Structures are given as structure tokens and as C-alpha cells.
Structure 1
Amino acid sequence: MTVNQLTTTPHPTSRWLATACLQPLEGPAGVAERLLLLVHYGIDWQNGWVSSYRERYWDHLLPDRIWCATFQAPTLRRWWREVAQDLGSAPRNPAERAELEALLRHDATPVLQVMRGETEALLLRTRIVTDAVREERQTHQAAARQRVPA
């Protein structure tokens, strides 16, 4: 599956990027962007250790773990294993598992190079997406509460 196919099918990352009104990145950068979104959304924010470090998450914890893993892993599967184990991340549903599996089949070298050289820019986009998704979720929850009779 190519990144172009990912943008034309209803994958979780496509929905998240659309919510933020961001045009998906192409090629290795697009694969990297989607992997980072899946890492973030797969973290156990209720019981995982990362939840205790939210104030350092975006600026230190996540970028450091992403960047270091690009040097430790020769393949995307190994990169995923390093990052997912370190952060306590796992796909939450069948759609996320299927998308992750497809992404991990891409050529590792260009994707890891993009992650290594553009970590902060990729994580900026990830953060924009998560802010937009959170805002949309809160808006829907507020609207649902208003519809429920007291």
C-alpha cells in the first residue's frame, strides 16, 4: 500500500489529518507522519508511565525517543518496537493495526532519515492534529450533553 492509497481510503490517520485540515505529507515524510500519529494515539494515557510526564511530552520525551530510535533500528518494524515498548504504545483497534502493518512495510532508510532530520517539524504537525481532534471530540461531547434531557 502506498501513501497515496492511504490518503484515499478511510484510515485513522487520514481522518485525523482531515480533522486538522492538513494536507497529508507525501512519500517517506507521509509514512513518518502517520507512524508518529499512531505512536501518539496508541499511548496508554490512563495507566502508562508517560501520563506522569505530560508537561515534558511534546518538547523532550517524545522527540528524544523518536530520534534515538532512528539510530537504533535498521527497519521500521524494529523502530516501531523500540518506540512502542519505550512509550507504552499499541494500536487500539483493527483499523489502526491494519494501517500500522501497511506502513511498516515501506522502505525504512528514507523514512528513518526524514524522522531523524525533521523530528520537530513532524511532531509539530502531530501536535496540530491532536489539538484539532481533541477540540472536535470536546465539541461533539458538549453538543451531546445539550441534547440529553435532564
Structure 2
Amino acid sequence: MSANARSVTDRWLAAAPALPRLTDSAAVTAEKLLLLLHYGIDWSDRNWVTSRRDDYWDEILPSRVRTATYTSGVNLHQWWSAVARNLGSAPRNSAERSELAGLLTSNPKPVLQTMRDQAPALVLRTRIVAAAVREHRQEQS
């Protein structure tokens, strides 16, 4: 990625300019992982999450993210594998795959601790960004 290029998650975050940016590197990484997790979910009828949309933001996503921090030890690759498999999520394109691969090499302990301690707050931020991205896309069409 060139110095001027922005990552996929940076572009999503830019859709919510009023949302204060996180400054802690572990929180930034956790937020980006949650964005990639959310956007990678298969929302087709084949995925159990689809039938539980009403519980997704407040119960399913925060609990699955947090639970995976305990079952994955201290490894972001294991965390991603567990939570992505559980929610039916996978990167949708090469840009998302590349960004995810890079994020998974981050120092795992502080990122997992941040997700464990701040899952509801991080999910709230993900929800705000997702709504802003959706609104931006609707305006563009």
C-alpha cells in the first residue's frame, strides 16, 4: 500500500468523521478487526446470524468477540479463526484479506485485552461506522 493509500478500514472510519478517533494502538487494531469481522459476515439465509439480526449488535457480536478472547489464548490468528467461524465471516476481497493479515500480526496481548474489556464499546463504534457507511453509500447511489 502506498503512503497515500488508505486501508479499507480507514475508508470506512472516514465515513463517520464525527466519531472521535482512537489513539491507543491496541484499541485501533481491535476496532479495525471488528470492522473486518462485521463486513465479512455472510448475511444470506445460510448463516444463523441472519435470523438473529435483532440481537446482533447488543448481544451476539459483543459476546462472540469477548468469548473468543478467552478461548484463543494469546493469539490473534486463533481469535480470528474462532470468531469468524462462529459468525460466518470472511474477508470479501484482496484488500480486506491483506489488511486482515497485517492486523493479525499485531501484538496480541493488548489487543485481546482491549476486546475483552471493551467489547460493547468497540461494537458500538463498529455500529456507528456501519450506519455511516450505509448512509454514505445511499447518498452516492
TM-score between the two structures when normalised by the length of structure 1: 0.86
Aligned residues: 136
Give identity over the alignment, percent: 53
User: Which consecutive unaligned segments of at least 5 residues does structure 1 have?
Assistant: 142-150
Quote how far apart the aligned CAs of 1:23 are.
4.4
Where 1:71 maps in the other structure, the secondary structure is helix
Partner of 2:134: 134
Q: Residue 11 in 1 paired to residue 7 in 2?
A: yes
Quote how far apart the aligned CAs of 1:24 are.
3.5
Distance 1:9 1:114 in 2: 27
* Partner amino acid, structure 2, of 1:69: A
Instruction: Please identify the structure whose Cα radius of gyration is greater.
Output: 1
Partner of 1:120: 120
How big is each residue's C-alpha offset from its partner over 1:56-111, in whole Å with a ceiling of 9 and x where there is no partner? 00011111100100001120000000000000000000000000000000111000
Partner of 2:22: 25
Larger helix proportion of the pair: 1
User: Which consecutive unaligned segments of at least 5 residues does structure 2 have?
Assistant: none
Quote how far apart the aligned CAs of 1:25 are.
2.0
Q: Residue 65 in 1 paired to residue 64 in 2?
A: yes
- Matched-pair contact (CA < 8 Å) for 1:17–1:23: no
Quote how far apart the aligned CAs of 1:137 are.
1.1
Partner of 1:109: 109
Distance 1:83 1:92 in 2: 16
Distance 2:107 2:72 in 1: 13
Give RMSD over aligned pairs: 1.6
Higher relative contact order (CA 8 A, sep 6+): 2
